[in-house]
Structure 1
Amino acid sequence: MKRAATRIGDGETELEVPLETVCFIIIKAREFDAKDPVTEPSPASNPSDDHSAAILEDHDDDPVLEELRSLISDLSVDAQIDLVALMWLGRDDQSVDEWQGVRQQAADAHNEHTSDYLCGTPLLADHLADGLSTLGYSCAEYECEHL
């Protein structure tokens, strides 16, 4: 996939994570965030009897969450750092001028738990979208093509 580049300050900086990947993560995070709390932890009914309502609940073995964690874990370290920095940039309402500092903080804090950290962050999709917007990007075109 093509890398996304943006003008930041005096130089050009490339995101290590492809824009398409960030947009896909945003869509998956919205799918997961839309789930309801589990109302019956171990239903003994047939899924066809309850009209597959359990799909709409937030179970530990949720396939959307597993896909999201797997995708993030499979990214390069630099791409994971960019995701965390984008989330922080959007969450903390910072400016494009602060991108390099935020990215450096994300690099300093990076560890093997990045996918758990990101997936456990409330409003992850909104923060990532806001971070992209701060850098001048949008997932609107990607969403039109894939939704």
Structure 2
Amino acid sequence: MEPSTPLETLCRIVLRAREYEAQVPSNYGDDEEPDNVDDTGEEVLSVLDDDINSSVEEELRGILDDLADDQLAEVLAFCWVGQGTYEASDWDEALEAAGEENNQIDELLEMPMMASVLEQGLAAFDLSCDGIGDLT
């Protein structure tokens, strides 16, 4: 299968989605106690902090916004295949459903582990980001 979205673009989305999903350290000063400690006093990692680097989100949103409608639907369909919502053999159905989705970009940005499921969706079609750009 040859996607309509260039593989380099799909891999760039994976890379930026990884950065977007990354956990960020808590913001507290040297003399302040973190508010994310467990009963033993050990700092615990939290899910995405509200202070996420907004430029990464803006860049990811910009990449997605620059895609043609059919390409954006394709990215969403790859993600749905990657998370098991559709099988690779149901690609046409996944692509059609993704094209009917009203808020494709929000759906993608709110998707847990978007980078991983997009990679898994690509792998279902023997596509890989190995050796492309910054993902090597």
Q: TM-score range by the shorter chain?
A: 0.7 to 0.9
Give the % identical residues.
Answer: 32
TM-score, structure 1 as length reference: 0.70
TM-score when scaled to structure 2?
Answer: 0.75
1:130 correspondence with 2:120: yes
Residue 21 of structure 1 pairs with residue 9 of structure 2: yes
- Which segment drifts farther, 127-136 or 99-108? 99-108
Moved over 4 A (4+): 37-40
Return closer, same or farther for 1:58/1:28 CA change in 2, 3 Å cut-off: farther
Aligned partner of 1:36 in structure 2 is 24
1:1-147, aligned counterparts within 5 Å? 6=1, 14-36=2-24, 39=27, 58-59=50-51, 62-92=54-84, 94-109=86-101, 111=102, 113-142=103-132, 145-147=133-135
Change (3 A) 1:93 1:114: closer
Q: CA deviation at 1:33?
A: 0.9
Shift of 1:82: 0.1
Higher strand share: 1
Q: Which runs of 5+ in 1 are unaligned?
A: 1-5, 7-13, 44-55
Alpha-carbon RMSD? 2.3
Task: State the number of aligned residues.
Answer: 117
